Structure 1
Amino acid sequence: MADVQPSPDAFDFEVETLIVGAGACGLVAALAARDAGQQVLVIEADAVPQGSTALSAGLIPAAGTRFQKAAGIDDDPAMFARDIQAKAHGENDPVLVDAMATGAGPVVEWLADRFGLPFSVVENFDYPGHSRRRMHGLPSRAGRELIDRLRQAAEGEGIDIICERRARTLFADGRRITGIAMTRPDGGVETVGCGKLILACNGFGGNRDKVADLLPGISDALWFGHDGNRGEALDWGAALGAATHHLGAYQGHGNVAHPHGILITWAVITEGGVQVNTEGQRFWDESQGYSEAARQVVAQPGGLAVTIFDARIADIARQFEDFQAAEAQGAVKSADTLDALAAAFDLPGDALRATMDSLPERGVDAFGRAWPGGQALAPPYMGVRVTGALFHTQGGLRTDGTGRVIGTDGAPFPNLFAAGGAACGVSGSGDSGYLSGNGLLAAVTLGYAAGRA
């Protein structure tokens, strides 16, 4: 259990900037702090840095970048901010929205220019809620590559990353944080003093009690995030009198291959695919987004669905390493007829044919999904059995635009910062405000700001 204690008489060692967590957020914060001339230490509970970043597609939404301009995409931070607020029904703190929408582009370009990360824009399909194509990723379109590149950059800068150390106790003198105690694999305890503490230890999705209490609507879904996300930041915040916000917000994903546990890109839907339940029937407007899909899929018989698309769409999806892995493991099946596809997934053939025949060429269907035309599915048909999952939480400690934690009295803590999943993101109060890439958006932008503060 994470707790807060008065400062000890002495620490085992001290550092200027201490960062808890070596996911994308913690590593970007470390690089920014080192770039600003600070002495930096990162501690990580895992044996190697990975976090939720390694489980994601590693895509960062950013507006007005040179990568967009090179692709002929006209975009700017104001448009991005409007998209964020529209998806979240205006529930977000506008200061945070503006900080993230304005900061994302410069951070992506800084990572590319300063550390050689080879970003490019996903140009061949749209993400729900984004009015422009602004998802920036590395060649594999995999979070594992992003975290490995950030770790290599940190090592190249001489930043110390100590793994297999879990922070347990936070030390404070009044509102000023003085350090932490952390446990080693052998059970021993070390104390570290710091001038500034950045919490980059993500959210609470790996804490099933907290999920059941704060996210009851998704608590029965598969947990697809990182088990180390146990909510220590919330515990420390509660003990310190820090404000929290939108603790019911989360990112789900309703397109996780079952039982393989592989994330299937939502491009299979946005380019014209659909989801059917075990009775061969569609059950919702899939264009709303993959986070909303988690709750919808979990509510179906057996908590399962089949995502149906075709070879044209599969060619787009193959740019993602995860989709290639799903094909290699046999999760993705192909058939020349709908009857054969139905047999492959134990679906009633008549019902599946009726469902697919009911898809309009253009216009709005009975679920409210708009069909622009030119997306009709054609043989060979393809499908994958999926379930709904909770990926990570989006609520957390309330911060200002630099990641500085704010108390319940409205005053900031002088040297305590939170970013990424430890801080409240920009997804509103539930799941319907999750804009694709919000998790990494919060990680890189607030992490960068906190590191340089």
Structure 2
Amino acid sequence: MKLYQKITCALLIVCAAVFTACGGSGKLKDGTYTESSVGHNGTLTLETVIKDGKIADIKTVESSETKGLGQAAVDLLCRAIVENNSIQVDTLTGATISSNCVKRIMQETVKKAGASDKTIASMAAVAVRPAAEKTSYEYDIVVIGAGGAGLTAAITAKQGGASVAVLEKNGFAGGNTMVSGGGLNVAGSDLQQKNGITDSVEKFTEDTLKGGDYKNDPVLVGIMARNSVAAYNWLRDDIGVPFMQERVQQFGGHSVPRACVPVGNSGYTITEALVKKCETLGIDIFYETKAVKLLKENDVVTGVEAENGGKTVSFVAKKGVVLATGGFGANVAMRVEYNPAYGSEYKTTCIQAAQGDGIVMAQAVGAKLVDMGYIQVYPTCNPKTGIISYVANSRFDGAVLVNKEGHRFVNEGGRRDVISQAILAQTDKCAYLVWGSEIESAGKMTQIHAKEFEQLKATNLLVQADTLEDAAKAAGIDAAALAAEIAEFNSFVDGKKDPKFQKTGAFRKIAEGPFYIETVTPSTHHTMGGVAIDAQTRVQSVSGGAIKRLFAAGEVVGGIHGTNRLGGNAITDIIVFGRIAGSEALKD
């Protein structure tokens, strides 16, 4: 078995006590038990089979947990519970809420099966983290971070003949890439050609520079745009990522539709394929392994010191280290340090692992940082959880934003930062996304993201009604004002021009029911600042020149997006520069 497989399956707990003396019968009562609790995204329901007094099987009946993240925690913990016949299991790093939800459900389940509170509380358990087998390893290339950029760099290096290790502090792979919508901007894709869309590298470059207020590094932006087609083709042909053939999305700030969207409209589609490719190539992924220090000798980065299973493990990198640790969107203290405007009042779309670890490690070896104060918020997120609403991608199909008073207030197809600031200026610092059957039939967001749709309705964050008036009343919006606003908007569609807010992107009427109104608010989403790199992804030193054998790709890098990242550019960024980093590290 590959090390990758062993460590993936090793989130198990060796228990010092099992259910052998529950209640007065000495066994749990046989039967099938169904229990629910609230996880990260919504209700989680598990069905547990107890046979011969032991936990024989656990199945997920209902789940809104994120694929590959929360759901990975659910699957692995359930497996651990069955294999050890105990509910005393450890949480999966990076998925605490989902892990605790499983434990709550199982506690109620065994109570129903006859276990007393005293019995449950008295069961001691020894947590065994998935530890590396040795305290020192040697590879050609060590990649820190198993998100989209890190996995891409690892695959590229491995295909180039290198031995590669990937260090991931979470118990799962995917990073923020996994919880994104997965769309990547491509100038000149086959999908654009198929849909008659004219585009160019120059146009893509200009849109990106303009979107970042020309604070971006034009060299890096040009590299991203020129290599976008190759990155997309690589994902499609080499990695096997399936893309929606009927959809080319136009995110805010782009002059034409150019985003290729993976099937399912989820970054998990991409990261799942990347992980499978790593497994096929025999790349070693060390989960629950937190890199804490870059090792350096005579101004050359030689490896990584990491923590795994309670011990220090060193990873020697004979050719180079690739930093792909992501940004710091979930680190409130770090956000405030560089931009006090983004404090704890903001929830985040980022996974909790987005703490800026790689930036701190790089800084400790003399890396230059750029654009650290540029922090982006995403405009249409769940007000209760902070996570991105993908049902709200109806905005890209023509849905409009109104405030509680029923009035539009911004160009819905504009830049994320502009829309977010406009929403925060409204009553209750939230907005209401409004659309009807014309827009729904075009994008089918409630179908593509059916689980989220049902969860939003269950938590009263989205209402559906046959008439606009009924929808407005259910959402708590001024119905008369909204009716007048939508009537005016529909007249703009007839005239093919929005004189009020100069709406860009899709322009469709909202006239036929059913109607949908979703409550949204901004959350921190992307940190544009990070380590400075050159065209070869070599990390730059504060004293000038490159730090030898240290490369970086993904959100840990600054300078590419300027003040504001345009939607769809993150995935293009991580694939383009991840491939470059993996290739350049081979050359050292």
TM-score (norm 2): 0.70
Other structure's SS at 2:377 match: strand
Structure 1 window deviating more from structure 2 (383-392 vs 295-304): it is 295-304
What corresponds to 1:167 in structure 2?
A: 291
152 and 259 in structure 1: CA distance in 2 versus 1, 3 angstrom threshold: same
Match of 2:482 in 1: 352
Aligned residue type for 2:530: G
Task: Identify the match of residue 221 of structure 1 among 336, 346, 349.
Answer: 346
**Unmatched tracts of structure 1, length 5 or more:** 1-9
Q: Which has the higher relative contact order, 1 or 2, with Cα contacts under 8 A spaced 6 or more apart?
A: 1
- Distance change >3 Å, CA 398–CA 283, structure 1 → 2: same
Q: Which has the larger radius of gyration?
A: 2
**TM-score normalised to structure 1 length:** 0.90
Kindly report which structure 2 residues correspond to 1:21-420, keeping only aligned pairs within 5 A, or say none.
Answer: 21-120=145-244, 123=247, 125-184=249-308, 186-195=309-318, 196-219=320-343, 220-259=345-384, 261-264=387-390, 267-318=393-444, 323-329=449-455, 330=457, 331-359=461-489, 360-361=491-492, 362=495, 363-369=497-503, 375-420=509-554
Q: State the 1:26 CA deviation.
A: 0.6
8 Å Cα contact 2:436/2:510 also seen in 1? no
Say whether 1:13 aligns with 2:137.
yes
1:249 partner letter: Y
| Amino acid paired to 1:128 | G
Tell me: CA distance 1:265–1:424, structure 2 relative to 1, closer, same or farther (3 Å): farther
Offset of residue 165 of structure 1: 0.6
- Output the amino acid matched with 2:487: D
In terms of mean alpha carbon deviation, does 293-302 or 39-48 score higher?
Answer: 293-302
CA displacement at 1:437 relative to structure 2? 1.4
SS of the residue corresponding to residue 421 of structure 1 reads coil
- How many Å separate the matches in 1 of 2:281 and 2:446? 30
Structure 1 counterpart of 2:89: none
Secondary structure (helix, strand or coil) at the match of 2:555 reads: helix
In 1, Cα distance between equivalents of 2:228 and 2:447:
24
* 2:446 and 2:453 in contact (8 A); partners too: no
Partner of residue 439 from structure 1, selected from 546, 570, 575: 570
Distance 1:21 1:176, change over 3 A: same
Is the Cα contact below 8 Å between 1:397 and 1:424 reproduced in 2?
A: yes
Cα distance change of structure 1 residues 320 and 450 upon mapping to structure 2, 3 Å threshold: farther
Q: Percent identity?
A: 27
Residue 242 of structure 1, CA deviation: 1.6
Instruction: After superposition, give the CA deviation of every residue in 1:172-217 in whole Å (9 maximum; x if it has no partner).
Output: 1242111111112x42211111131111000111211011222333
Are residues 452 and 47 of structure 1, via their aligned partners in 2, closer, same or farther at CA, if it must alter by over 3 Å? same
Name whichever of 436-445 and 244-253 sits farther off: 244-253
2:236 and 2:546 mapped to 1: Cα distance?
A: 32
Which structure 2 segments of 5+ residues have no match?
Answer: 1-133
Specify the code of the residue in structure 1 equivalent to 2:519. Answer: R
User: How far does the alpha carbon of each residue in 1:288-333 deviate from its partner, in whole angstroms, 9 at most, with x for none?
Assistant: 1344333332333322221111122123333587632222222432
Alpha-carbon distance, 1:267 to partner: 4.2
C-alpha distance 53-15 of structure 1, shift in aligned 2 (>3 A): same
SS of alignment partner, residue 171 of structure 2: coil
The Cα offsets for residues 121-166 of structure 1, whole Å up to 9 and x where unpaired, read as: 6636522222332212321111111111110011111111110111
Amino acid at match of 1:303: K
8 A Cα contact 2:374 2:527, kept in partner: yes
How many residues are paired up? 440
Are the aligned partners of 1:202 and 1:422 in contact in 2 as well (CA < 8 Å)? Answer: yes
2:486 maps to a residue whose letter is M
State how far apart, in whole Å, the 2-side matches of 1:160 and 1:102 are: 31
Q: Which secondary structure state, in structure 2, belongs to the residue aligned with residue 223 of structure 1?
A: coil
Q: Tell me whether 316-325 or 105-114 shows the greater mean CA deviation.
A: 316-325
Q: Is the partner of 2:162 in helix, strand or coil?
A: coil
Per the TM alignment, residue 450 of structure 1 is displaced from its structure 2 partner at its CA by 0.3
Runs of 4 or more off by more than 6 Å in structure 1?
none
CA pair 311-89 structure 1, distance change in 2 beyond 3 A: same
Which whole-Å CA distance do the structure 2 matches of 1:452 and 1:188 have between them?
A: 32
Q: Measured at CA, do residues 365 and 372 of structure 1 come closer, stay the same or move farther in structure 2, by a change above 3 Å?
A: farther
RMSD across aligned positions (CA): 2.4
- Structure 1 SS opposite 2:413: helix
